[in-house]
Structure formats: structure tokens, C-alpha cells
Structure 1
Amino acid sequence: MVRRPRIIGELAVLLVLLWVYDLIRGHADVREVAALRNGQQLLHFERWLGIDIELAANLWTTQQTALSLAASYWYQFTHLSMTLGVLVWCWWRRAGSYRRARNALVLTNVFGLCFFMLYPVAPPRFLPGFGFVDSVANAGFGPTHGGPVTADQFGAFPSLHLAWAVWTAVVAHRLVRSTALRWLWLCYPVITAVVVVVTGNHYLLDVLAGALIALATLAIAHRIPRRRSDDRHRPSGLPTGRAGQANLTRLKTFLGASDRELEPSRRDR
């Protein structure tokens, strides 16, 4: 039986990531000018590509009071709760798959923090003169959007909301057996992608970058060999791997040949 990792170690990893996140967020004043410039450049690049749908989607949503409020609450509460919920669920129900899932999530955050530090980007709602409306602030959560962990105001690229949502959907998809529930989980990142754009918090390119990072880290974590429980119970002298299997085959062949060589002497007796 595969043992679950100890809670203390898992909390230590979480605290280190939060400390680094807080350290980067603490340099907001230094990053502000570059973040605004990079945000404007992203939006201009999207216009050149013909995919700058953020402003139209944001303004239309803010005119629909109930829809704007629902999107704001989704943005504010599902990001952390859904991700941690699936992580704990995987730790409790699928201990053998937990380490890979956790490693992928940690890698996702490491890549995201590197981008936040090297390439700060202000969200669309911060860009002066473009006309974006901060739907989440209007819903009563303030300009920093509150929450247990204050968001990095200049960490729009890539969208960790999307990266976490893709991770959550993939891991939950593997945990459930019902086909209907699997498809339902796959809808989660799609809804999150729409929400982060219409609330003025992310660009379309942020969404794509966040999804790609999550898929890449999941693939990387899947290629890391998993420690198997039967390896821990295997006698130390027993060979493993392809070379070990080849040696076992040769040993069986040798033993079979030895038995055949002994057959004449047995008949003589």
C-alpha cells in the first residue's frame, strides 16, 4: 500500500511558495511602470492579431448585473477552494497518484512566479484610458480583491487562475469514474477562462499561456518515475528494470537446461 506524504512536508512546500509569492508582490512599486507598459503591449499585440475581445466582453458583462455578480463570485471563491479541494481529495483517495499531481501544481506555480518576476503585466482593469471596468471590485471585494492571500496586482501573465483550473480539471477527471462527472470537470477551466476575461482581470493571451503551462507541467510530472510500493518490498538482491528482466530470463533458461542435462542420470538410477 502506498503511503500518503506527511502533512508537515506538504505544508512546508506551500509556505515556501507563499513566501516567494509575497516577496515578488512586495516589489509592486518597482514593477508598476513595466507592468503597465507590458499590459498595453499585450493588448496592442492582440489587436494586431485580431483577437482583442476583452473590452467588448467586459463592457457587455457589466451591463448584465446578475451575470457580472456571478462571474465576480466565481473569480473570487473558486480559484483557491477548488484547487485545494481536489489536491486534498487526491491525497486522501489516490495516494499513489498524489505526488505526481502535487509536483505538477508546484511546477506550475514556480513557472508562474518566474514570469511574474521577469515579465510583470498589469491586468486590463488597470490600463488607463482603455475603459475596462473592475467587476470584482464593483461586487464589493475592493481593488485588491481581498481573499486569504492578496493577489499580485502585476502578475496577470500567465493566468494562474487558468493554470490551476486546468490542473484541477485534469486531476479531478482522473479521480472520478462517472463519464458525466468527467465531462463536467472539463467544463470548469472553460468557465474560468470566460470569467477571468469578462471581469477585466486577464487577457486572452494570459489564458492561453496559463493553460499551456499547466498542461506542460502535468506532462513533465507524469514522466517523472513514480516510486512503487512493490519496489520497497522487493528483496534487495533481486534485479529490477529491463536488465534485471533479461538476467532473470537467462537464469530460467540456464536452470531449464540443467534440468534436461540431469534427466539421463536419473533414468540410469
Structure 2
Amino acid sequence: MPDVLTRRRRFLPNGILDAVIQLLVVVAAYTAYQNTRGLINDQLGASRAFANADWIVSAERLLHIDIERSVQHAATSVPGLMDASSLMYVNAQFSVTFGAMIYIYLRHNQAFGFVRNMFICAWCLALLGYVLFPTAPPRLVPGLGIHDAVAAASGVDPTDQTHTVNRLYNPYAAVPSMHVGFSLMIGIPLARLSKHRITRIFWGLYPLVVLFVVMATGNHFLIDGILGAVAVGIAALVARWLGQRRPHAWRFGREPAGADGAVS
């Protein structure tokens, strides 16, 4: 293999080829996840999705954790907080998540394989949840008094298929919450990898902020977020197992120093 493809560079710890391969793997996996998530949408199953949402509402009331309306009210009562929450809901899952993954690859490459495998496994678990337990979000459930904050802030109806962003939109892909899942999969590793106290606190609190955002905007129940955390926990165990069995899988450049120090 030409040395120019695998030679370590200042910003590419394993060379050009490894960076390209990792990018293609992550983009392909995420694209498959998004497309499959959208194609799962079965309008004939809407009654099932609302029945599942009613079950979650009943379970939360029984456990006294039905806080979604209170969270949205609190966000609305603070000037600018709801707009900020809506903006974060729309952008955080992609922009912050993949920006963080790029940072981990470049600056903490020894941990990237674990994080990458955890994401791919979590995407698979999420798709399983969308198929087996389609669930309407709080904003669509009648009688809860929860409105669609994102639509109100952006002026875009997520059910309007004339918008390209909504072509593969699935309104019933609420369980598990992958907004919460994504935030955990970058928040915890970055908190563990950070050298400075402020950044450790920031990334440690980031998943809680995202949990607040998804409830404030009316897109998820608290239980959705809890199940998102469960999916991440399972994905982390699988990623750790894969790392122990094949610690250098999908690495095409030279092995970086400290390659065995992946986050677990």
C-alpha cells in the first residue's frame, strides 16, 4: 500500500486512507439508519403508535414522572429559551454529534473505534424499537396540552412532504429517543477524555440538556429518553466486546500510540 495513504500527518493520526474509510463507514451507517427510519413509517399503524403513546402516558402517571407539560411550560416562561430549545433540537443531533465524532477521531483517536461501534450498534437497536414499538410523540397526543414548539419556531410543518427535509420523516419514531442517545454517546466519552474541569462538566451535563430540550419541544416523553439511555448502555457493552475481540478493526493506517486505551 502506498506510504502516502497511510503516513501519519499532523491532523490525520492514521493517514488519509483511514480517515476516508472511517468517514465512509459512519456516513453509510447513518444514511442507512435515516433512510430505514423514514421508510418504516406506516400510516396504517398510526392507531398502534397512539396506543403505545397512551401506554407511556399511563405508565408515567403511575410512576409520577409525567413531567413533559411542566417542562414545556417552564421553557415557555423563560424568554428565548423555547426558541433556543427548538434550534438545538433541529441542529444538535447532526451538527454537534458529528462535529464531536470528528474531534474524537482527530484528537482522541484511540477512543474513536469504541465510539463509532457504539453509534452503529445503537442505530440498529433504535430501528428495532421503531419497528416493534412505534410511538406518537407528546405533541401529537390529544389532551396532553403539549404543542409542537419546533414547528411553531421554524414555521415548517414536519408532516408537509413538500419540504425535502421531511421526505423520510417518521412521526412515530419516538422510542427510543436517539436525540438523548446521541448526546450520551458523545457526552460521556468527551467528559471522560477532557483534561479541563469546565469541559468535563459541560459534556457531562450535555445529555441532561438534550433531555430537557426533547421534552420542552414536545418531541419525546421522559420514558423515551430513559429507553434511549438503555439502548446506549447495550450498545456500549457490545462496542466494548468488539473492541476486546478486534481492537484494531476498520483501521487502515498505522497504529497510533496508545491504541489500547479506548473509552469503555
Q: Name the TM-score, length of structure 2 as normaliser.
A: 0.78
Unaligned runs of at least 5 residues, structure 1: 234-269
Q: For the residues of structure 2 that align with 1:165 and 1:20, how far apart are their CA atoms? A: 17
Richer in helix (by share): 1
Tell me which of 18, 21, 35 is aligned to 2:49. 35
Question: 1:170 & 1:64 partners in 2: Cα distance?
Answer: 28
Name the aligned partner's letter for residue 116 of structure 1.
Y
Q: CA deviation digits over 1:192-221, x for unaligned, max 9?
A: 111111111100101111122213322331
Residues 78 and 179 of structure 1: is their aligned pair in 2 closer, same or farther, counting only changes over 3 Å?
same
In the alignment, which residue of structure 1 is the partner of 2:248? 227
Alignment match, 1:103: 117
Matches within 5 A, 1:1-269: 3=14, 5-8=18-21, 10-26=23-39, 27-144=41-158, 151-224=169-242, 225=244, 226-227=247-248
Structure-2 change in CA distance of 1:78 and 1:141 (3 Å): farther
The one-letter code of the counterpart of 1:7 is: V
Deviation at 1:141, TM superposition (A): 4.7
Give the whole-Å Cα distance in 1 for the aligned partners of 2:42 and 2:76. 28
- The structure whose Rg is larger is 1
Summarize deviations over 1:65-97 as a string: whole Å, max 9, x none: 412111111111112111101111122223322
Separation in 1, partners of 2:60, 2:193: 37
* Counterpart Cα distance in 2 of 1:171 and 1:140: 32
Other structure's SS at 1:200 match: coil
Change beyond 3 A, Cα 1:36–1:109: same
Query: Structure 1 counterpart of 2:223, which letter?
Result: L
Instruction: Tell me the matched-pair count.
Output: 231
Matches of 2:60 and 2:231 in 1, distance apart? Answer: 20
Between 1:34-43 and 1:4-13, the stretch displaced more is 4-13
1:57 and 1:68 map into 2 onto residues whose CA distance is: 10
Q: Provide closer, same or farther for how the CA distance between residues 205 and 94 of structure 1 changes in structure 2, counting only shifts above 3 A.
A: same
Task: Write out the 4+ residue segments of structure 1 that deviate beyond 6 Å after TM superposition.
Answer: none
User: Structure 1 length normalisation: TM-score?
Assistant: 0.76
Residue 28 of structure 1, CA deviation: 3.2
Matched-pair contact (CA < 8 Å) for 1:76–1:147: no
Partner deviation per Cα, 1:159-214 (whole Å, 9 max, x = no partner) = 10000000111221233211221111111111111111111110010111112221
Rate the CA distance shift 1:22–1:213 in 2: closer, same or farther, 3 A: same
Q: CA contact under 8 A between 2:36 and 2:127: conserved in structure 1? A: no
The answer to whether the 8 A contact 1:59-1:133 is kept is no
Cα separation, partners in 2 of 1:223 and 1:118, compared to 1, 3 Å: same
Letter in 2 for 1:22: N
Identity fraction in percent: 26
CA distance in 2, matches of 1:59, 1:3: 49
Query: For structure 2, which runs of at least 5 residues remain unmatched after alignment?
Result: 1-7, 256-264
Distance 1:61 1:13 in 2: 34
